[in-house]
């Protein structure tokens, strides 16, 4: 990823991709104190648009504020830089990773006078998963690693250091032959997947964990609003147990990269199997709620005319 052409915005300057380096003593590299976002831009019939860039940028500012990291750039500057990075790098479909980190003026937990830096790399990303993989979905294992406790980490902040915990959980599941992991909070209730929120459908209602141990995902919010306002499906935010997932009619995970991916199996249980859903490994039913939400989300992110774009056209910002 580092050895290629392109431009990276760093602290207000555009640097050639290969020259966007930081010092070995960069504080955030040593202790994980920093925060970031994952944002996407999609090409559609109306050109390229950033999807919910205002909400992502606000979450970046909120993460920095919660971590008590002073940020030298305001939201407008950061949004403008994200738009410009698409043009400079000639990107039509992209993943952008604005990242806030602390400089190399000192080391140690008590270091004072550290500069806040902001970098903005962006690269080409078409479909993160193929249409086939998005229809087949995931086999997951409940993790033996607990997700964060609200009194240990700031779960609303998208903190770099949080991802050690995500990777311990994901790597354990992948080594055991699974695609994904479902993490429980320290009390044993469902929190989220390694880098995605989780939903289940039961008796025509969607349920998702309340925002305590999970990130307040922007895709989670998009799905809640599409379900309620376009499909008329009630959504309940509450504590969920892992057996609620076992007994769900449908389940899926949501995230900027993953978009909406069906969760087909958890701990060897075929989710929806009781209700006669297609076998794990076969595509989900075209008329399932998961598939309907996938289509609405695809249309609204790509700016394809339809009910989702009519309701939520303001989620798109022209590149």
**Residues belonging to the active site:** 158
| Residue 160 C-alpha from the chain's centroid | 13
Of the listed pieces 72-80, 100-108, 188-196, 244-252, which binds ligand PMP according to CB under 6 A? 188-196
Residue 214 or 319 with smaller CB distance to ligand PMP: 214
In the block, tokens 């607990």 appear at 146
Residue from 24, 220, 6 nearest 96 by CA: 6
Q: Is 301:51 a contact under the CB 8 Å cutoff?
A: yes
Q: Supply the minimum distance, in Å, between the C-beta of residue 21 and ligand PMP.
A: 26
Residue 103 or 254 with smaller CB distance to ligand PMP: 254
Identify residues 70-99 at the interface with ligand PMP (CB under 6 A): none
Residues whose CB falls within 8 Å of the CB of residue 30, separated by 6 or more in sequence, listed in order: 107
Of the listed pieces 105-113, 211-219, 241-249, 271-279, which binds ligand PMP according to CB under 6 A? 211-219
Task: By CB under 6 A, tell whether 196 contacts ligand PMP.
Answer: yes
Task: By CB under 6 A, tell whether 195 contacts ligand PMP.
Answer: yes
> What is the rounded end-to-end Cα distance, in angstroms, of the chain?
23
Give the whole-angstrom CA distance, residue 111 versus residue 93: 40
Task: By CB under 6 A, tell whether 215 contacts ligand PMP.
Answer: yes
Residue 155 or 266 with smaller CB distance to ligand PMP: 155
Residue 190 or 195 with smaller CB distance to ligand PMP: 195
CB atoms within 10 A of CB 144: 12
Q: 282 — phi, psi (to 5°)?
A: -95, 155
- Chain contacts with ligand PMP (rule: CB under 6 A): 38, 166, 192, 195-197, 214-215, 217-220, 254-256
């Amino acid at each position: 990823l580092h050895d290629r052409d392109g431009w990276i915005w760093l602290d207000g300057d555009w640097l050639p991709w290969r020259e966007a380096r930081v010092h070995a003593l960069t504080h955030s590299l040593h202790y994980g104190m920093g925060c970031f976002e994952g944002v996407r831009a999609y090409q559609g019939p109306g050109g390229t648009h950033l999807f919910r860039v205002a909400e992502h940028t606000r979450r970046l500012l909120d993460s920095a504020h919660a971590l008590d990291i002073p940020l030298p750039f305001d939201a407008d500057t950061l949004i403008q830089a994200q738009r410009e990075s698409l043009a400079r790098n000639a990107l039509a479909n992209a993943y952008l990773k604005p990242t806030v980190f602390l400089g190399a003026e000192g080391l140690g937990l008590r270091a004072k006078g550290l500069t806040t830096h902001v970098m903005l790399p962006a690269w080409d990303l078409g479909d993160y998963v193929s249409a086939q993989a998005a229809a087949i979905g995931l086999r997951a294992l409940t993790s033996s690693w607990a997700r964060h406790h609200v009194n240990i980490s700031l779960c609303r902040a998208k903190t770099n250091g949080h991802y050690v915990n995500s990777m311990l959980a994901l790597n354990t599941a992948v080594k055991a032959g699974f695609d994904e992991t479902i993490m429980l909070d320290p009390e044993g209730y469902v929190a989220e997947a390694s880098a995605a929120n989780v939903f289940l459908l039961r008796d025509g209602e969607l349920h998702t964990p309340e925002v305590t141990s999970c990130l307040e995902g922007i895709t989670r919010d998009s799905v809640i609003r599409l379900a309620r306002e376009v499909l008329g499906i009630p959504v309940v935010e509450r504590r969920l147990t892992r057996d609620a997932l076992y007994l769900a009619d449908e389940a899926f995970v949501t995230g900027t990269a993953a978009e909406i991916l069906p969760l087909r199996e958890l701990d060897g249980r075929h989710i929806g199997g009781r209700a006669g859903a297609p076998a794990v490994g076969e595509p989900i039913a075209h008329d399932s709620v998961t598939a309907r939400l996938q289509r609405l989300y695809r249309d609204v992110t790509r700016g394809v005319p339809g009910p989702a774009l009519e309701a939520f056209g303001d989620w798109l910002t022209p590149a």
